[in-house]
Amino acid sequence: MNPYNPHLIDALLEEQRQDILQEAERLRLVRAYEAANPTPKSRLLIFLGNLLIQAGERLKRKYERDVQLPTCRP
């Protein structure tokens, strides 16, 4: 068998291409799964982040009511 056979080279390249495409699809599925299923640590950080945002918004509403900005009108 001639190692420089163009048909053999084409077949090997196609097989390699299919392997690369399959690996890319596997990686895409893994990333999609990980994005849809956050780890417990990620869920905790999201909860704490939302809690801090809500607390900041409450503080802002509470103290913004007490502040009166001077106006330029006489």
> Binning pLDDT at 50, 70 and 90, where does residue 65 land?
confident
Measure the CA–CA gap between 3 and 17, rounded to whole angstroms: 19
∠ Cα 57 58 59 (to 5°): 90
Distance of alpha carbon 36 from alpha carbon 7, whole angstroms: 43
In a domain? residue 50: yes
Q: What domain range includes position 59?
A: 6-64
* 8 close to 1: Cβ distance less than 8 angstroms: yes
Is the pLDDT at 14 greater than 90, yes or no? yes
Domain annotation covers residue 25: yes
Domain count across the chain: 1
Name the least confident of 5-9, 25-29, 48-52. Answer: 5-9
